[in-house]
Homo-oligomer: A and B are copies of this chain.
Amino acid sequence: MLNIYENQAKVFKAFCDENRLKILEMLRGGEKCACVLLEQLELGQSGLSYHMKILVDSGIVQSRQDGKWTHYKINTEGSLYAEGLLKKLTTPNFENIYSNDNDNICSD
């Protein structure tokens, strides 16, 4: 069980690694099977599997099993969630406990 900050961080981990950004770029062109991703990246099979797990766990990517192949695509729902979360995390909230409207102004 992860705390709230760890759960939020997990979403953005998808975008914090060069290989994962390359994978997302490829998936923007449509669903791809692991074999196709593998041949475009300078990564071994287990390395790709490692990154795909992080992408799926972040909610940004969705996987579909088809016999012995796994196909991946961008998860629209998860992406919208990430977008909303990013907006929330950067939007002023003068109701929160750290609001300057309460009494947290640096006294100097």
Q: Which residues of A contact B (CB under 8 A)?
A: 3, 5-6, 8-9, 11-13, 15-18, 21-22, 24-33, 35-36, 40, 60, 69, 71, 74, 76, 79, 82-83, 86-87, 89-94, 96-102, 104, 106, 108
Question: Which of A9, A26, A89, A91 has the most B CB atoms < 10 Å from its CB?
Answer: A89
Give me the 5 closest cross-chain CB pairs, A-B, nearest first.
A29-B98, A30-B100, A79-B90, A29-B99, A33-B106
Given contacts A5-B22, A8-B15, A106-B69, A30 and B94 within 8 Å (CB-CB): yes
Q: Which single member of B5, B29, B31, B69 contacts A18 (CB below 8 Å)?
A: B5
Given contacts A15-B8, A16-B16, A104-B29, A74 and B90 within 8 Å (CB-CB): yes
